[in-house]
Every structure is written in structure tokens, then in C-alpha cells.
Homo-oligomer: A and B are copies of this chain.
Amino acid sequence: MIDKTCLKAEIAGIKLKNPVMTASGTFGYGQEYAPFVDLNRLGAIILKGITLKPKRGNPPPRVIETPSGMLNAIGLQNVGVEVLIKEKLPYFKKFNTPVIINISGDTIEEYLELTRRLGEVSKEMGVAGLEVNISCPNVKKGGMAWGTDAKATYEIVSSIRKVTALPLIVKLTPNVTDIKIIAQAAEEAGADALSLINTLMGMVVDIDSRRPKLANVSGGLSGPAVKPVALWMVWQVFQTVNIPIIGIGGMIKVEDALEFIIAGARAIEIGTANFVNPRVTIEIIEGIEKYLIENNIKDITKLVGSMKI
């Protein structure tokens, strides 16, 4: 048995100590989890989705538990890019973990302006890369509309590509007939990496009031319930594109993370599980290391996409 292994990963040119990142919207602005997690140990931190202007978000109730999952309809409540730059990013100066900004907009112009603004400050504020959210199911305009159509995906990604040299991760929605086509469009448009999946559209009804349980009617399903769907999509996309894939969806224990890596994910994002176990990211990092050592795998890259069928 070997006694050391290499967990390093490189995604879109971003160098990661290990492949474990935090999924946007589930780790706040990072600081909230600092009491539980040594942020220096994470592969990367992806912050709550940001927009050009602050966003109020949807009315409550915004979250509801479902069997082995949850629906959320936060509606992208966020402080806006300027407050992010002024008040949230400085916090990360003391850490050496890459910070990736998840961006959203109602229009292409908003995405572009946001990208430019983050580009301007990227060196100074330590923005390692952008994750372009074209898959948010909880906002009226924009959001998922981009991610459900290959042409729209190509258009927005290539537009963003033109205005930035920052590493560009495009986050895909599972609410599509064929995610391979969308993935290809994003790759052709210049994405450096793809992350998937965002949430599945869902609803829960209150049988007493006969109303939806979420004020927004629908919400996005996440958590263990969606893991099989996410894994299947990662595997599909892995066979289709040449850029790295970040797996997301329902991981709550190390075995789940390993499944994604074996199915082709070069890195992974942990979302809902943070709510259940705030130390889950660290436990998964340690678990991956243990698995690699026990299986005599000297470098995690050997495991990526190693699934035999």
C-alpha cells in the first residue's frame, strides 16, 4: 500500500489543492462556514450567485424539505457585485484557496458588465475564475432560459468569453432533453470547464391550504434525491466534451464524491450537504485521500473518468 497520494486538480487553469469545492448558494459568502471549516483546506470556494445590482430575492417560504432532498426558491438574493467586492472578497485575503464567483444576469449585457467588473478587480481581490450560472430555475428573467437552448448557451458564453480572460466555468441545468448538446455549445463557445448539475425544477403542495408550499410555486430540487440524475449527466457530458467537468448534485458522503470522479468529474461541488453537516467538505476530502491510498492510486487524475462499462 502506498502512503501518500496526490489530490491536486486543475480546472480551467485554476490550481486546486484537492477537487472539493463548495456549490454556489450553499456556502454563503464563505465566512458563514469558517467556524466549522478551515477554508484553507478546500479545493476552491464558490460564492453565492451574484448579480450586477443587489437582488431582494423571492418571498418566503423559500425552502422545503422533500424525500432525501429539498426545494429552494431563493431567487438569487444577493448583495450585488459592488458590495461583494467591497465587503465580501477582502475576507479571503488571508486564505490561499481559490475563490470563484458564480454570476447571473437578466440580460447578456448584465452578464458582460458583471464579467468586466470582476475582471477589473480580479487580480487585486483574488478572483480565481467565474462560474456562469445559466441554469437558475428561480428567477423570472434570464436564468435557466440561457441554459435550456444550445444557441442561447453559445451566444451568452461566447459573448462572455470575448470580454474576459478569466477562467470560465459554465454551469448547466439538468432540465433539458439532451445535456450533451448544451455542453457542446458551451465548449465551442469557449468555456474552460463545465459544472453540472444545477437544480431540477420541482414543486410541493400544501394539502391543507391547497397552495404550493413555496411562495414562488416552483423551486429547485437538490440533495441526495437527485444524485443518480446528476451522475448520469456527468457521465454523458464526460463522453462528449474535452474540457474538464465539475460534478455537482446530491453528494453527502465520500462514496458519492468518488462516484462522480469515477464517472468523469475532475472536481466536485458540495451543496445541500453543507446544511446537514457543516464539516462535510473536509470529511469528503479526507475520505477521498483514504480511498486513493487504500486502492494504491498515486494520483487522483488516474481515477477521473475511470468507469468501465
Contacts and interface: CB of A to CB of B under 8 A. Distances in A.
Given A66-B227, A202-B231, A232-B202, A207 B177 contact: no
B224 A204 contact: no
A243 interface: no
Contacts of A71: 228
A142 interface: no
Nearest to A149: B177
Interface string A273-309: 0000000000000000001000000000000001111
A212 interface: yes
Given A175-B177, A177-B175, A229 B200 contact: yes
A212 B307 contact: yes
B232 A262 contact: no
A231 B217 CA distance: 11
Interface string A99-126: 0000000000000000000000000000
A75 B89 CA distance: 52
A205 B66 contact: no
A14 interface: no
A258 interface: yes
A259 B229 CA distance: 23
A266 B200 CA distance: 25
A26 interface: no
Contact of A309 (B176, B212, B250): B212
A170 interface: no
A103 to B, nearest CB: 23
A204 B148 CA distance: 25
A19 to B, nearest CB: 15
Interface of A: 66-69, 71, 148-149, 175-178, 200-205, 207, 210-212, 217-219, 221, 223-229, 231-232, 235, 250, 255, 258-259, 262-263, 291, 306-309
23 contacts: A67-B68, A67-B223, A67-B227, A67-B250, A68-B68, A69-B228, A148-B177, A177-B177, A200-B228, A200-B229, A202-B229, A203-B235, A203-B263, A204-B231, A207-B259, A207-B262, A210-B262, A210-B306, A210-B308, A217-B235, A219-B228, A221-B228, A225-B226
